[in-house]
Amino acid sequence: MSEQRKIIAENTADEKNNETKTKVNTVQGGTFSRENNEADQNISRSEGDNAEFYVSAENTEENTGGSECPPLEEGAAENIGGEGADASGKEEEKESKPLKLNLSRHIIAGVLLIIGAAVLFAGRVSREFADWFCFNIYPVFSGIGSRIWGIFPFSAAEILVALVILGSLTGLVFLIRHIIRHKGSRARAFLNGFSIAEITAAALFLIVTFNCLVGYNRTPFSRYSGLVLREYTADELKELTLHLIGEANQIAERVDLDGEGRPIKPCDFNKYAVEAMEALGERYEVLKTYYPQPKGAAASEIMSSFNLAGIYFPVTVEANFNKAMPVSSQGFTACHELSHLSGFIREDEANFIAFIACRDSESTYFRYSGYLGAVSYCLNALYGSVSREEYSEICGRLSPVILDEYAFRNEYWAAYRKKVTYKVSSAVNDTYLKANNQTDGTKSYGRMVDLLLAEYFGEQ
């Protein structure tokens, strides 16, 4: 009877051990689940290269006197690995992913920056390269951009600028919040934010280089138009100025004015601007390109506070003009900004191209706007070249309509000249132009007069 009980006890112990072993489920990937509701399983790992795992059950010890389960196979031990080891592996994997992502962003930003810098450098040291680029590469990028963004009737440039500002502020807030809440990952959060800003800045630099900066170094428009630049005397400048004043006075008699003496902006303003530039493209092959409609900026009052009459935005390849400034300036400014789309970025050339486009326009308004712009630049150039009495006598030849318009313009801009934004913007623009081979900075706008003189005396 005792022998039978002994056999039954041994069988019971074996069944208990088998039951305990079946309740350890090895799962692929190094994790395992515990489903033993009868007894807690204590898992321990011995140190050394040949690590082994042992499973003991308290209930089993009570029934069998502390018998041990045989060690699991070495392969099974490697799979089980333990929760701590698996969590650590996952943590390392999570930490490595952002680092790889940051590295890829740094590489992309670096490539974009190198391409942009190489193209810009090549354009500065080689006029032949700048010309080749402006004739072959620039038209492709600007043509695609102007057609895409030209679909929208509003200024896409303003929307993009607003989104960049809003996105930057939002991103900064989230970055600071993440750094405060997750102290252990501050460096990673900062690097992520920096890498996003880095790649965005590099992409913008490349686009601006392709659609704008190289154009500063191309062959001047005077070479393509057959104009010969030389030194002109004060008498020659005076002769040109009087000629332009005479033409402006005649057009002032025909332009439509409102009750306050201001010119009336035509309903087909954009159409006339594009047609004027397209007609010029038929005359000069280098100006033949796709011209989208110019766009009046919604934030025109802000532009005025920054001393901006218009702006060519190379990212969207748009010609934006300030629709809050006096109407008499808007036609000339629209054509000025559109001229940049032909690849001529220097301000004196853009002014001259805008003038001849307005002068030859079918619209009386555009002719009036163009002549007022040209006369204004000539008078500014003449101011220091003749005596005050002579200068006053020349200004006295302007018609009352034009004199009143110039007074209105001065009054409008005088309201902004004392603002800090006006002064800062003027200084930034001056520095920007000097950095792009226009050594006289904002005074380069006035070099339009040299082209006017070359054309006027070249035709005589």
With residue 15 as reference, give the H or E element that holds it: helix 2-22
- Look at strands 318-321 and 295-296 and give their pairing: parallel
Helix (H, G, I), strand (E, B) or coil at 321: strand
Tell me which residue has tokens 């193209």: 119
Please name the residues in contact with 13: beta carbons below 8 A apart, sequence gap of 6 or more: 60, 63, 64, 67
Adjacency order of strands within the sheet including 310-313: 295-296, 318-321, 310-313
Please name the residues in contact with 241: beta carbons below 8 A apart, sequence gap of 6 or more: 375, 378, 379, 382, 394
Report the C-alpha gap between 81 and 69 in whole angstroms.
18
Report the C-alpha gap between 129 and 269 in whole angstroms.
37
Report the C-alpha gap between 288 and 305 in whole angstroms.
34
Distances (CA, A) of 114 to 110, 133, 200: 6, 17, 14
What burial class does residue 112 get, using C-beta atoms within 10 Å of its C-beta: 0-12 exposed, 13-18 middle, 19+ buried? buried
Residue 329: the pLDDT is 98
With residue 327 as reference, give the H or E element that holds it: helix 327-340
Residue 429: the pLDDT is 86
8 Å CB contact between 451 and 349: yes
Please name the residues in contact with 187: beta carbons below 8 A apart, sequence gap of 6 or more: none
Rounded to the nearest 5°, which phi and psi values hold at 25?
Answer: -100, 115
pTM, entire model: 0.75
**Can you read off the two tokens belonging to residue 107?**
């590489």
Helix (H, G, I), strand (E, B) or coil at 392: helix
Provide the 10 A C-beta neighbour count for residue 63. Answer: 15
What burial class does residue 410 get, using C-beta atoms within 10 Å of its C-beta: 0-12 exposed, 13-18 middle, 19+ buried? exposed
8 Å CB contact between 103 and 196: no
Instruction: Give, for all 460 residues of the chain, the pLDDT tens digit.
Output: 545 444 444 555 555 555 544 444 443 444 434 444 444 444 344 344 433 333 333 444 444 444 444 444 444 434 434 444 454 454 444 444 444 456 788 899 999 999 999 999 999 999 999 999 999 999 999 999 999 999 999 999 999 999 988 988 887 787 777 777 766 566 666 667 677 888 889 999 999 999 999 999 999 999 999 998 999 999 999 999 999 999 999 999 999 999 999 999 999 999 999 999 999 999 999 999 999 999 999 999 999 999 999 999 999 999 999 999 999 999 999 999 999 999 999 999 999 999 999 999 999 999 999 999 999 999 999 998 899 999 999 999 999 999 999 999 999 999 999 888 888 888 898 888 888 878 777 877 878 999 999 999 987 6
Provide the 10 A C-beta neighbour count for residue 2. Answer: 6
* Closest to 335 measured CA to CA, from 391, 390, 373: 373
Q: What are 98's strand-pairing partners?
A: none
Domain spans in the chain, listed from the N-terminal domain onward:
2-81, 93-217, 224-458
- List the end-to-end C-alpha distance of the chain, in Å, as a whole number: 139
pLDDT digit string, tens, across residues 134-161:
999 999 999 999 999 999 999 999 999 9
Residue 114: the pLDDT is 97
Report the C-alpha gap between 276 and 370 in whole angstroms.
11
pLDDT digit string, tens, across residues 382-429:
998 899 999 999 999 999 999 999 999 999 999 999 888 888 888 898
Residue 189: the pLDDT is 64
